[in-house]
Structure 1
């Protein structure tokens, strides 16, 4: 019982990370559907508005108040880069490249997160994390190559996905110190609000396209706001506050494998052997990167660092 109580924070953080990965994987299917009726900027604004409203209700009910001044720099940067720019760039990029190429390029992000976390946050780079990321990246490459057999990849599309990955990485690293000053709900709520405000120039297009879009596309947009944004970014922040940015970034390598499975179930896209092999590699790499080296007697050799107090 004592061991279970001691490990409870780690179990909860792992569960939160799993919820995030599952919902982010489902977003690829929803984006594909909503993207037929909504332009990249309008889809981003609709998604972030729905997410900000849902988070705002929870924030008001919980009466958590405004984040402290020391957290606002990270909230603003993550809101602009990750919630705002990343969402628009990825929506736009996926309209110009196939899903496999987009997944491959965006999966540069976790590598950048690990490098930036080491450089800017002083995080360690354990051998298991490096090994796990290498295995997962090989899996992402395999999935990308197996899914990109039809059509040529647009140079602009690849560039947009690369820019999205860079914004994602810097957004995560900016968010990490803010979580040492404010609660996950505060950081997520106001980060999402900042992203929505940054996307307001697309309001006209959103109103016009919503008037002509099929209900299924609009419902997918709302789903993106409520679940892959409001819920998944909240569980992400909860887990990130309790581990390193590099380890959390490595967890997202499970997304390509889950996208393959969801596309199979929801869209009838049967994966080939190479795609399945790549998915297995992604999951195996995540398992390695999140494992811990054990010393004598099965005791954990090193603890996760506490959230940094940067300021």
Structure 2
């Protein structure tokens, strides 16, 4: 993996890390289903506008079923589940649980014979999970029903991301990133339309929640999903999903900045382990790259 790919992973991680505090702000006002629908719809509008400006062609009708399945795994399910978790879990905790996505991605790659399951990748997953645990200083969680369900929701969402990454990789080989990204979010909005309409009476419009949702829909979903599709086209799926190891660093930082969640100097060892894990899973070695330049 080249240096520019690693920089793109950092950008994705920083922006997607910010999504967890934004979810914590918006989820109580909108509810999991309406919020997921509006987020998909906003992303679809942004990406469709880019389609019109760039004059790219939409995918053929025969491909929409597979793109709808991709949308279900990488948009619909994660959005709804993380929104539900955001009602009960701190943003940093959700970001940590999201770091299990590469583990599921590695397993999915091995199951579908798209990528080899190497010891280095498994070691990277283990180191990454250890790093994010240190990063937010995970400890005992009060075993209440809502908290347990929130944790399960995050893990299920991460599994959906991990397995969806395999389909995303295949989609990038069959379609241009922009048309595929736009189709995924249109399909996601269509899937969520009726369920979110049923839950719409519970929506409370608050200024902060509206702003948070607008950022989630247009930027963290629309533009960043497109960047993710472009990156997925150039590197292995397991490497692309390894950005989840970096997300907790940013999720904790944004949570501390905007929500007052604790940030301590003790997180430094966790940051170091996270960076090592990312290098193991992606195969990116900055020291080797510098040596080649010399």
Would you call these one fold, judging by a TM-score over 0.5?
yes
Task: Output the CA distance in 1 between the equivalents of 2:233 and 2:21.
Answer: 28
Shift of the alpha carbon at 1:209? Answer: 5.0
Shift of the alpha carbon at 1:253? Answer: 0.5
Q: Which stretch of structure 1 is more off in the superposition, 90-99 or 169-178?
A: 90-99
Shift of the alpha carbon at 1:156? Answer: 1.9
Q: Which stretch of structure 1 is more off in the superposition, 172-181 or 114-123?
A: 114-123
Shift of the alpha carbon at 1:234? Answer: 0.7
State the secondary structure of the residue aligned to 1:37. helix
* Of 20, 24, 32, the match for 2:24: 32
Shift in CA distance, 111/150, structure 1 to aligned 2, threshold 3 Å? closer
Gaps of 5+ in 1: 1-6, 300-311
Query: 2:211 maps to what in 1?
Result: 219
State the secondary structure of the residue aligned to 1:220. helix
- Verify the 8 A CA contact 2:133 2:270 in the aligned structure 1: yes
Task: Output the CA distance in 1 between the equivalents of 2:238 and 2:172.
Answer: 15
* Of 154, 157, 163, the match for 1:161: 154
Counterparts of residues 1-311 of structure 1 (less than 5 Å): 10-68=2-60, 71-143=63-135, 146-147=137-138, 151-152=142-143, 154-204=147-197, 207-209=200-202, 212-292=204-284
Task: Output the CA distance in 2 between the equivalents of 1:226 and 1:136.
Answer: 29
RMSD: 2.8
Task: Output the CA distance in 2 between the equivalents of 1:156 and 1:101.
Answer: 13
Task: Output the CA distance in 1 between the equivalents of 2:26 and 2:235.
Answer: 34
Bigger helix share: 2
Gaps of 5+ in 2: none
Shift of the alpha carbon at 1:129? Answer: 3.3
State the secondary structure of the residue aligned to 1:263. helix
Shift of the alpha carbon at 1:199? Answer: 0.8
Shift of the alpha carbon at 1:200? Answer: 0.5
Q: Deviations over 1:183-218 (max 9, x none)?
A: 1111111111111111112443675455x4211111
- Verify the 8 A CA contact 1:99 1:147 in the aligned structure 2: no
Task: Output the CA distance in 2 between the equivalents of 1:12 and 1:209.
Answer: 44
State the secondary structure of the residue aligned to 1:36. helix
- Verify the 8 A CA contact 2:10 2:246 in the aligned structure 1: no
Q: Give the number of equivalent residue pairs.
A: 289
Structure 2-normalised TM-score?
A: 0.86
Q: Which stretch of structure 1 is more off in the superposition, 21-30 or 165-174?
A: 165-174
Shift in CA distance, 176/71, structure 1 to aligned 2, threshold 3 Å? farther
Task: Output the CA distance in 2 between the equivalents of 1:278 and 1:11.
Answer: 22
